[in-house]
Chains A and B, each alone.
Chain A
Amino acid sequence: MAEHVEVSEPEAAGPEGPAVSAAVMADAHVTHNVVVPTVEQPLAPEVDAEPITQPGAEAPPMGRARRRDRTVAGDRWIARVLRGGAVVSGGMFVVSLGLEALPQSENVHVAIDLLRKGAASMLLVTPVARLAVAGTLLGLKGEWRYTLIAAGVLGLLAIAVSTGIPT
């Protein structure tokens, strides 16, 4: 059974009040209106908590479901990269702030400096890694156009940073 999840869109509801359904954005032209959360890959709690809006909907064909699962898995990898970068970098910044409360010494200063530089570097690398992961995953799905676009963006950014062009 295809499970649809609701996202608040009151403005969008027509006179008949159509059931607001899945927030499947990333793969809009591949599969519309279908999210098939599996036990192994649950959606985020706030999405899982939303009601089923079309319980009678037909199950998608097998090939389509597989593509859907791959898309969901791909998005999860991108989300993991972003979340991992944010959490690790945020944690390092928090530890560096905590170290400031300790009695100041040369070692503490060095540790704070190293932690902050590491955290800042991690934060700056994260969006770039996300871009690389997104391009690679879309390439693996055969959407080479987006891989080329991601490579183009990375190349242009590298040129801009290395030549000092302010962006």
Chain B
Amino acid sequence: MVAGGLAGSLGAMLGIGGGIVLVPALVLLFGIPVEDAVPASLMCVVANSCAAAAGYVHNHLSDIRLGLTLELSTVLGAIFGGLVAAMVAPAMVAVVFGLFTFYVALQMLLLRAPRQEPATLDDYSPTNYPLGISGSFVAGGLSALLGVGGGPLKVPLMSYGMRVPFKVASATSNLMIGVTGAASVAAYALRGHLKLALVSPLVVGVLGGAYVGSLLMPKVPTPVLKKLFALVLLVVASQMLWKGGAGLWPNMLK
């Protein structure tokens, strides 16, 4: 429940769902098999999305139109990713994604003069829709191929690529991840891979954490959120490089 609470608050504040915290915690700290941890974590992503997005939508922090538009390309990308999963080497994709995430994280951490955010949170209109739509397609595909949520890719995409304020990007990502997460969980549940005894305490913790995170997020300064997000991206990059490396090194050493 505590792990769920931490994952929920972090995921709600950054728009990433929380799976990045939960899966390693469940596997490494509680010794739960990955095949059980992943569906449980996805269920928590859905819970996080519902609890946090309720507050963000109520306060008009989520851009519903932008979310709907990007959701369509994300789902298309996820279906495409699911269809081509057997044809591509996930290890290679993981390495490429890891390197890209590493680059984005370093840029967010080290950039001295970051892009100026709009003066007010309502004083923006999303630009560069082609980039946003194609990027969401890629994010959806990667989530199907690698099992990572689209949040770590979609938040920088909206914030840097589409000139959406970081907090709006984070809140909109939170709104979006629930839909694809629910479809993924449904697929796992239909195959009987969803362990409800494991999910119950996690979801309760995540719901509490997400509520706290959604209260905190509007009050936390944007630069702090960006640094936190960059640190999370570094963790994602490490996980992806590790995952990719584990798949590639044995073949290269042969």
Contact = CB atoms under 8 A, between A and B. Distances in A.
Interface string A1-44: 00000011111111000111111111111001101000000011
Contacts, number: 255
Contacts of A26: 57, 60, 62-65
A138 interface: yes
Nearest to A128: B182
A24 B221 contact: no
B46 A124 contact: yes
Given A23-B61, A78-B64, A167-B82, A12 B186 contact: no
User: Which range holds the interface residue count of chain B?
Assistant: 35 or more
Interface string B157-178: 0000000010110011001001
Interface class of chain B by DSSP? helix
B230 to A, nearest CB: 14
Given A9-B121, A78-B57, A160-B79, A124 B204 contact: no
Nearest to A137: B64
B60 A24 contact: yes
Interface string B77-97: 011011101000000000000
Contact of A167 (B50, B117, B143): B143
A153 B75 CA distance: 7
A116 B63 CA distance: 32
User: Which range holds the interface residue count of chain A?
Assistant: 35 or more
Contact of B50 (A28, A46, A86): A86
A134 B210 CA distance: 22
A64 interface: no
Interface stretch (B18-26, B98-106, B194-202, B233-241): B194-202
7 contacts: A7-B61, A19-B120, A21-B120, A25-B171, A26-B64, A119-B203, A166-B82
Interface of A: 7-14, 18-29, 32-33, 35, 43-44, 46-47, 72, 75-76, 78-80, 82-83, 85-86, 89-90, 93-94, 96-97, 113, 116-117, 119-120, 123-128, 130-131, 134-135, 138, 143, 146, 149-150, 152-153, 156-157, 159-161, 164-167
Interface of B: 43, 46-47, 49-51, 53-55, 57-65, 68-69, 71-72, 75-76, 78-79, 81-83, 85, 114, 116-126, 140, 143-144, 165, 167-168, 171-172, 175, 178-187, 189-191, 194, 196-197, 199-201, 203-204, 207, 210, 215, 218-223
